[in-house]
Amino acid sequence: MIRYGILGFGLHAVRRLMPAFSEAKHCTVTGFWRRDQSKVQEVLEQYHQFPLHSYDSPEALCSSSDVDAIFVASPDALHLPHTLTALKHRKPVLCEKPMAMNAAESERMLEAAERAHVPLGVAQNFRFEASVNRMRDIITAGTIGKPLLARSEFHYYTRQHARTWLTDPSLACGGPVGDVGVHCIDALRYILQDEVSAVFARALYDKDSGAVEFAATSLLEFRNGTIADVTVSTRAEYRTPLWITGSGGLVGAEDALTVDHALALHTRPIGAEISTEQISNYTTYQDQVDAFALHIESGVPFVAPGIEGLRNQRVLDATYRSIKSGKRELV
């Protein structure tokens, strides 16, 4: 049983991580550090069923003998220092996406993990979704032929959002491109089993988003020829459609990436009847923390190792370069 410490206990821990740990079979949570120390007692009272202990600094949490692994859930700009602190104490790290503020920081994290000889994973949780894995299987089987075009969207509403740091460029990698666009990028890379070679992007800004974008569209060119449109925003209701058009058909769903309710995945080969499957991604976060625990304990391969975080970060970097330059940028 792997004992996690959560470094950066905030809204994500409340909404996603703690419910996942309550159902996990191979791990639990024994410690946490919260940026706002005034809310520590609130956490202890809310999660009294866990053997939780609060720590007054990242260093104290990472050095604790009561913690086996660190889940870094702090704002993006803290991922590098927090991961390095954990690795200094030879603690395996599962780091939230985006992995860092840029690819150079991600490279430093990977180098530190290699020197410490401990696992480093990135929390690209959609790799654990039943819907994403089913689409990957359908593409691999050639059911819709060669993938030609893809469309992935991720929208959510952030006016008066609890995570106020999302529009602070000193803490956030960017706006929705860095926050959820990275999910679209990773899901497409994983489903297509292909890499992005170039990006052309445009973004929108307003007084509420400040220095970070509130919406963007990116055209991704994949090495094997697929062209993907990734559109994200923080000015719309929650939506996560993902569709792939191939030379022999179509596969996708309007709520392809959601974990909140069941979804209908549609597959339609050209000239054939449409096939619809009801799929639930309810256990996604539970499966992710359990999978990393098994990786630590037994060496079971983890499908989101740190190198995948770096590869996603390189695409993000190219996207932001394209937004600034107005040109197509190589990854």
**pTM flag (> 0.95):** yes
Note the maximum CA span of the chain. 62
Is residue 212 within 8 Å of 174, Cβ to Cβ? yes
Side chain identity at residue 26, one-letter code: H
Picking from 84, 9, 316, the residue whose alpha carbon sits closest to that of residue 185 is 316
Side chain identity at residue 51, one-letter code: P
Nearby residues of 209 by Cβ (< 8 Å), 6 or more positions away: 167, 175, 234
Calpha distance 300→315 (Å, rounded): 28
pLDDT at 161: 65
pLDDT at 64: 98
**Cis bond before residue 98 (omega within 30° of 0):** yes
Strands annotated E in the chain: 2-7, 27-33, 53-54, 69-72, 93-96, 120-123, 147-157, 196-204, 215-222, 227-233, 235-239, 242-246, 249-253, 263-269, 275-279, 329-330
pLDDT at 162: 66
pLDDT at 245: 98
For the chain, domain boundaries: 2-125+286-305, 126-281+313-330
Tell the residue number behind the tokens 């469309």, with chain if given. 151
pLDDT at 165: 86
pLDDT at 40: 94
| Domain covering 2-125+286-305: architecture | 3-Layer(aba) Sandwich (3.40)
- Tens place of pLDDT per residue across the chain (331 aa): 999 999 999 999 999 999 999 999 999 999 999 999 999 999 999 999 999 999 999 999 999 999 999 999 999 999 999 999 999 999 999 999 999 999 999 999 999 999 999 999 999 999 999 999 999 999 999 999 999 999 999 999 987 666 788 899 999 999 999 999 999 999 999 999 999 999 999 999 998 888 999 999 999 999 999 999 999 999 999 999 999 999 999 999 999 999 999 999 999 999 999 999 999 999 999 999 999 999 999 999 999 999 999 999 999 999 999 999 999 999 9
Helices (H), 66-201: 79-88, 103-116, 130-141, 176, 182-192
Find residue 70's DSSP bridge partners. 5, 93
Q: What CATH number does domain 126-281+313-330 carry, 3.30.360.10, 3.40.50.720, 3.40.250.10, 3.40.190.10?
A: 3.30.360.10
